[in-house]
Structure formats: C-alpha cells, structure tokens
Amino acid sequence: MSNKPKKDLSLEQRKTDVDLWAIALISFVVLGIYMVFQNQFIAFVKDSSINILLRVLWSAAFQFGLAGLGIVMVSMIRKENLLTYGLNRKGAVLSVILCSLCFVPYMIFMLSTGQITSYLPFQSVWTTREVLSSGFPINVIGMLITAIAWGFFEGFNYVVISDKINRRYPSKNRWLNWGAIACAVLCILIHGAIGVTAEGIIEMVTIFLIVYGMVMVKEYTGNAWGCVFIFTFFWNAF
C-alpha cells in the first residue's frame, strides 16, 4: 500500500512525458512542412486574386498546427476537457487585469524605442488589413478565424503546455515554476527575440516577463482567459 502513490505518480509522469513529446512532435512536423513549402505558402497567402477567406483559412491552419493542434490531439487521446485548464468565468476579470499588467514593461520598452506607431489587433498577421477592408460578413468571419488561431490557441497553448510541464516536474518553490519558465523561453525562441545587444536583451527580458507572468497569473487565479486576452488584444497589435 505504501508504494502505490509512488507508482501512480511515476505512471502519471510517463503519460505526461508522452503528451509533451507528442505536442512537440506535431508542432515540429507542421513547422517542417512550412519550411519546405515556405515560398509557395507565402505566395498563396499574399495572392490577392485568391478569395481572402481561403487565404485566411490556409494561413490559420498552419498557425493552429504550430500552436493548438498538439494540445487538441493530446486532449482528445487522453479524453481531457480543455475547459479544465482554466477556461471558466470565475476569476476571469482579475486574470485579464493581472495579465495586462504583465504586458506593461514590454509596452514601455516599445514606446521608449519608438516601435509603437499604431494599435490594431493582429495587424502583424498578413491578411488582417485585407480582411478588415472586406465587406460584411467576410470581415467578421475572417477576423473570427484570425482571433481563434492567433489569439485563443496561441495564448491557451502556453497554458496547457505549462500545466503538463509542472505535472512532470513539480516544484516546491512557488516562483520556480518550470512550466512558466519553459514557456517563456519557448516564446522567445519561437519569435526570434534572442537579445545580443543591450536593446535586444531588454526586449527579451520583457517578453519573458509577459509569458512567465501570464502563466503565473493563471496559476494564481485558476483562470486562463487572461492569457488568451494577451494574445488576442496585445501580442500582434502594435
């Protein structure tokens, strides 16, 4: 009887290892496909003669493959309900407020370096401005697809990955949250924000604070909507 908890924990850790490797593998496969067909992909997305919704869907499919498909596939195999990862109403307002505060250092950095010239959610997504200039209901449908792929799933992806990392590598220190740290480093690597100059290092630190901070907010509030809010209204908006 005394050995059973250790066996259960070991089994849970092995399952979590498989989950994390599966998520990583799916993301790398999609990334590999994108890299091989990058020129064709870009040409298709930027071809204004093709229906804008088709181009949004094509682009969103790759984005979802990189940040979303892995956690969805694993949750389906494990029969997990993604709502249990903090997608609830309780604590949502506090989560949004605290996560927004995590973005403040990055905004100060961008303002001080003159990088903020306008505000528009998802403006760094290639199809956003063309979608917005399209008539109803194309503009609404296109922005909804964009918000789901680049907002909801990119933000929520970090929540699920962080949770699984913490299950695998639990820490007794509240601030030494391996999931939050790993996701922050992953975000920096994915977006190529590795600083080699003083300015670059400051940017890297502020990005680290965004992701680490929002995941810690999720841990504190038990609510993940703040993480989704960050990637929907702030991340690609300046």
Mean pLDDT of the chain: 92
Predicted local distance difference test score (pLDDT) of residue 2: 43
Residues 66-89, mean pLDDT to the nearest whole number? 94
Predicted local distance difference test score (pLDDT) of residue 220: 96
Burial class (CB in 10 A: 0-12, 13-18, 19+), 176: exposed
Q: How distant is the alpha carbon of residue 5 from its chain centre?
A: 33
Its pTM surpasses 0.85:
yes
Predicted local distance difference test score (pLDDT) of residue 8: 58
Greater pLDDT, 221 or 9: 221
- Which of 30-34, 80-84, 91-95, 173-177 shows the highest mean pLDDT? 91-95
Reported as a pLDDT band with limits 50, 70 and 90, residue 9 is low
Residues 22-26, mean pLDDT to the nearest whole number? 96
- Site of tokens 């962080």: 162
Predicted local distance difference test score (pLDDT) of residue 1: 42
List Cα–Cα distances, 163 to 110, 151, 179, 204, 218, in angstroms. Answer: 30, 19, 6, 23, 10
For the cut 70, the answer to whether the pLDDT of residue 7 exceeds it is no
Q: How distant is the alpha carbon of residue 80 from its chain centre?
A: 19
Contact 86/96 with Cβ under 8 angstroms?
no
- At 119-169, the pLDDT tens digits run 999 999 999 999 999 989 999 999 999 999 999 999 999 999 999 999 999
- At 55-65, the pLDDT tens digits run 999 999 999 99
Contact 85/224 with Cβ under 8 angstroms?
yes
